Amino acid sequence: MEYALAKFRVYLLGSGPFVVYTDHSSPRTAVKSPHISQRMARWLSFFAEYDFRVEYKPGRLNVVADALSRRPDDAVKTADANRIGVERVSAPPSSLIDDMKAAYASDADAKQLLSYALAPSDEARRRLEPHLRARAHRYCVHEGLLLYSAVDDDVIRVVVPNNYDLRMRIMYKYHDAPTAGHPGRERIYVLLTRDFYWNHQCKWVRKIRFNHFRHRRSVGSPSLWTLSLVFRLTVSGGLVSWSL
């Protein structure tokens, strides 16, 4: 936001009130906080030169601007998987996806969120359990999969139901993938959160005993599993295209 104001300074200063739309939520509350950092104080001093108000707009609702603001080196790259085997992307097989869809039925929270995401309304929101209401707007459904986007990055992740076996299968895959090397708990957590989400995910990973993984690998490494995950940005706001 600071860069945009500086870039168009000559047009904005003295032009009258204007609106800044941003997917960064903290500027809305910064001015209300009784204690701010020195860095934030410098920002507020800079912003005081302009006559504007801030409107929060999540990236998923402003896909054109979100796409234009992405770093070009973050674009999806392709490679010859036969020539460079380690660049093959690991992702869940269709059997795991089917098992996750089936397991939603036995997860009370997932059932409620699926029902709400399929037909969102104020009345449906009121019927949710209190601990689900605050983040209900962050869930959506695509081809039977419950998806979640976090508050700080709007990255779309697959919600894994409260099923120990499913979560362990996913953990094994990330730990044993050829590109994983010898990941510890922190590395596995980072890999997991790129694609999957469940409540208390960090705490869950920390409790895992990694000698279980070593034993599993000694029995035999699982075959490499691949799937194409494609997130398409469209003007109409389409969310996800998941192709097997």
Q: Which two tokens stand for residue 160?
A: 């894994």
The full set of domain ranges for the chain reads 2-57, 85-243
pLDDT category at 225 given cuts 50, 70, 90 is: very low
Q: Give the separation between CA 72 and CA 68, rounded to whole angstroms.
A: 9
List the one residue out of 242, 199, 235 whose CA is nearest residue 61: 235
Which band of pLDDT confidence, cut at 50, 70 and 90, is reported for residue 69? low
Residue 20: in which H helix or E strand, if any? strand 18-22
- For the stretch 3-32, pLDDT in tens is 788 888 888 888 788 888 887 766 666 656
- The residues, ordered by sequence, that sit 6+ positions from 79 with a Cβ below 8 Å of its Cβ are 87
**CATH number of the domain located at residue range(s) 85-243 in this protein:** 1.10.340.70
- Cβ-based neighbours of 63, under 8 Å, separated by 6 or more: 233, 234, 235, 237
pTM of the model: 0.49
pLDDT-based confidence at 34, cuts 50/70/90?
A: low
CB atoms within 10 A of CB 214: 10
